Amino acid sequence: MKKIVAAIGLIIILVGAGVGFMRYQDQQSYQHEIKIAERAVKGQKWKTAQKAYEAAQGKKQTPTTYTALRQLAHIIPAQDDYNHEDWDGAVSQFKLALAIDDGLPLIQKAVKPVLTAAKEKQTAAREASKEAAQAAKASSIARDESRRAKSRASEESSRRAAEKEKKEKEQGEKEHQSDTSPSDKATEKKDAQQEQED
């Protein structure tokens, strides 16, 4: 009976030692993955950080891994937007990452300079867009003014041509009248008198 109790005791000790060792291994692995994740966050290597936090959470779920993964779910698309020069999307997503309750200070600190850069680029892009719109408007106004000026010049040219033609016609008529001889004029007068008598 003593041997059976001793054997059971030994089994319990071995199982306890095995469980303890596994927990120790998981804790060591968790700590290792957390260190990898923290280094990645400092270097703004968000996807590497996400993988490391996921690996750490696989060993042990903690508020740290849960919060980090929630923040990274916004940071990674924000970085993609930033890389594609979608400043509005980047600013919006980075802000969401910072707004998560009890955000990790390390992640908050790493995100703030990127958010600041995205805001600066967003402002510059908006200013450039305004300037481009104003330039386009000015160009449109200039084109309209040019069209109106051409139209006025065309009208003025037509008016001058009409006046010139009228003057030439009048001049021609005067010259025609001066070319008529006195005898022709007398004949015309006589014909006119005869028409009246008739």
Evaluate if residue 182 carries a pLDDT over 70.
no
Kindly state the average pLDDT of the residues 3-16: 63
**Long-range CB contacts for residues 155-161, cutoff 8 Å, separation at least 24:** none
Q: CA–CA separation, 27 vs 78, rounded Å?
A: 32
Amino acid at 71: Q
Quick: pLDDT tens for 92-147: 999 999 999 899 999 999 999 999 999 999 999 888 878 777 777 777 777 877 78
| Global pTM value | 0.57
Evaluate if residue 176 carries a pLDDT over 70.
no
Buried-exposed string 176-185: b where 16+ CB fall within 10 A, e elsewhere: eeeeeeeeee
Evaluate if residue 148 carries a pLDDT over 70.
yes
Contact between 115 and 95 under an 8 Å Cβ cutoff? The reply is yes
What is the enclosing helix (H) or strand (E) of 34? helix 2-42
* Residue 19 pLDDT: 47
Please identify which residue in the block is written with the tokens 């690996």: 55
Kindly state the average pLDDT of the residues 31-43: 96
Contact between 51 and 39 under an 8 Å Cβ cutoff? The reply is no
Average pLDDT score, the chain? 82
* Residue 183 pLDDT: 53
Q: How many CB atoms lie within 10 A of CB 6?
A: 10
Alpha helix stretches (DSSP H) within 60-104: 63-83, 87-99
Structure tokens at 114: 């990127």
Sign of the Cα pseudo-torsion (16, 18, 19, 23, in order): positive
Q: How far is residue 134 from each of residues 35, 137, 162, measured CA to CA in Å?
A: 52, 5, 42
What is the enclosing helix (H) or strand (E) of 166? helix 105-179
